[in-house]
Amino acid sequence: MPSPIRFDGRVAIVTGAGGGLGRGYALELARRGAKVVVNDLGGTRDGTGHSDAALAVVDEIRSAGGEAMANGGNVADYDQMVDMVARAKDAWGGVHILINNAGVLRDKTFAKMDPADFEFVVRVHLIGSAFATKACWETFREQNYGRVLMTSSSTGLFGNFGQANYGAAKLGLAGLTKTLSLEGAKNDIRVNTIAPTAGTRMTEDLFPKEAFDAFAPEKVAPGALFLVSEDAPTNVILGAGAGAFQASYVTLTPGALLTGDDLSPEGVAAHWDRITDRAGEIVPKTGAEQAMTIGRLLQQP
């Protein structure tokens, strides 16, 4: 086994940390030496209401001998995220880790979904994660160190009936990760994505009791903490649930170059098997690689 992963001297912010996955991340970060900002607006899973959830987690951390502060800021309000970061820096001198975990659900089929519910879910998950990350970004650059974890979902990566708003936001987060991992590289800012499957209040009516217990949030936390550790990779999409961990990739097939009469809708249909043949597919590291693969096709005799 490698050396124990510790977070001594690090300051971590975990959004949506009043319960479920976020609480698990916050407790384990603190147990391993981090000072933790426990952020939670405290609403129900549809984003309404308030509670003292963050304070309860802070009390747990302090009772175990750790350091933590509560923050009730709304991730969808940029000024509140800036204030959260400023308070952490005033108290502890910096911010080194951000886990974007806050989220809501307003599930309905797209046909029945109110546009306001679509916008609200995207705003909390995608825009909220962007706001929290932006509030930390300059600090990360000044320190030449930062670790960011976005929370995607199998719904975003692969689709799920009745979750168009949630899926759109969650795949957007994977895309945000890919660009920020490139922009942050020169300042040792590593950005990753986790796609958890866990028994939380967001999923309590989806799992039978036995499965709910098997998919405890504590079984996701090891993957999350590795992805925000000093030796973390960057630009990874990690699936996690019930102690199982999986890597997910966006790939690109070699494709086919169509010319003449084949450069038509009918030609695409005729060559569909070749276009979608996965033999020799790649995992691009940047968007430019798509144009590069086309260039190679153009150079073929």
In this structure, the dihedral spanned by the alpha carbons of residues 267, 269, 270 and 273, taken in order and rounded to 10 degrees, is 130
Read off the pLDDT of each residue in 255-272 and give the average, rounded to a whole number. 98
Phi/psi for 94 (5° steps) reads 180, 180
Tokens of 89: 């820096």
Please identify which residue in the block is written with the tokens 């038509």.
264
Distance CA 130, CA 70 (A): 21
Read off the pLDDT of each residue in 82-110 and give the average, rounded to a whole number. 97
The pLDDT of residue 270 = 98
The pLDDT of residue 107 = 95
Tokens of 173: 């987060």
User: Does the annotation mark 25 as catalytic?
Assistant: no
Tokens of 48: 């309404």
87 versus 205: the higher-pLDDT residue is: 87
Query: In this structure, are residues 271 and 264 in contact, taking their beta carbons and an 8 Å threshold?
Result: no
Query: Catalytic one among 78, 145, 166, 249?
Result: 166
Distance CA 76, CA 227 (A): 24
Is the pLDDT confidence value at 134 over 70? yes
Instruction: Provide the pLDDT confidence category of residue 169 given band limits of 50, 70 and 90.
Output: very high
Instruction: Provide the pLDDT confidence category of residue 73 given band limits of 50, 70 and 90.
Output: very high
Read off the pLDDT of each residue in 191-200 and give the average, rounded to a whole number. 86
Distance CA 294, CA 275 (A): 12
Enter the pTM of the model: 0.93
The pLDDT of residue 199 = 57
The pLDDT of residue 27 = 98
242 burial type by CB count under 10 A (0-12 exposed, 13-18 middle, 19+ buried): middle
Is the pLDDT confidence value at 207 over 60? no
Nearest to 29 by CA among 124, 104, 96, 85: 96
Residue 115, SS3 per DSSP: helix
What residues pair up with 146 in beta bridges, in sequence order? Answer: 189
In tens, the pLDDT along 217-239 reads 899 999 999 999 999 999 999 99
Is the pLDDT confidence value at 206 over 80? no
Distance CA 157, CA 150 (A): 13
Tokens of 220: 């996701």
Half-sphere exposure of residue 100: CA atoms within 13 angstroms, side-chain side: 34
The pLDDT of residue 192 = 98
